[in-house]
Amino acid sequence: MNDYAAPKTLHIARKLLSLLGKIQITDDDDNVVYEAAAQWRWFIRPWRITQDGCEVAVVRRKFLSFAPTWYVHTNDENFELRGKLWSWRRQVAVVGGRFDGAILRGGLWDMGFELSRHGQVMARAQAKIMTLRTRHSIELLDASPQAELLTVILMTTLVEQKSEKSSLGAAADPSPHG
């Protein structure tokens, strides 16, 4: 990649009218690049991420853990995503694999995110606030396919986690502390 190439931008949003909460990742031309869909299970639903109809990753949330933790299996490697339990801002660290030590940090109110590793920013995401569904635009600063897939996996888990939090909070307790 030369110094003048524009960073690639992806857009992630939950698909409307989907029972299991399918998530689509599109490019600037609105072409579907990746899709993430939950598989039906009783407790922990694994998410399958596909690219052009081929499975490229499976993400499964760890059952009964204090901090949010996901097990990720791709065609190349296995690693974990570990959320920080007590933090004002959302933070997820990559443990294992080629991007060991990478951290996705959220901004205040979860409107923006930044993925970095060893001080180098790999991707940035910004939420669109005037839409019917949660939608983020992701600017990929690392052009490698592996970094793109990692970013898609992380953003998929965050969109799902935000959805779970809002649906659980609305169903359990409408108070602001819930």
Give the predicted TM-score (pTM) of the model.
Answer: 0.80
SS3 43: coil
Phi, psi (rounded to 5 degrees) for 62: -70, 135
Amino acid, single-letter form, for residue 157: T
Q: What pLDDT is stored for residue 160 in this prediction? A: 76
CA dist., res. 120 & res. 101, Å (int): 12
Neighbours of 130 (CB within 10 A): 5
Neighbours of 46 (CB within 10 A): 16
Q: What pLDDT is stored for residue 92 in this prediction? A: 92
CA atoms within 13 A on the CB side of 62: 14
Q: What pLDDT is stored for residue 5 in this prediction? A: 62
Can you name the residues that pair with 25 across neighbouring β-strands? 12, 34
pLDDT digits (tens, 9 = 90+) for 99-132: 999 999 887 665 688 999 999 999 998 876 544 4
Q: What pLDDT is stored for residue 1 in this prediction? A: 46
Nearest to 18 by CA among 34, 40, 33: 40
Query: Tens-digit pLDDT profile for the chain (178 aa)?
Result: 445 566 789 998 876 554 557 889 999 898 999 999 887 766 677 889 999 999 999 999 888 777 889 999 999 999 999 988 776 778 899 999 999 999 998 876 656 889 999 999 999 988 765 444 557 789 999 989 999 999 999 988 887 776 655 554 444 444 333 4
| Exposure string over 17-33, b if 16+ CB within 10 A, otherwise e | eeeebebbbbeeeeeeb
Q: How far is CA 95 from CA 37, 117, 164, 178, in A?
A: 23, 12, 23, 30
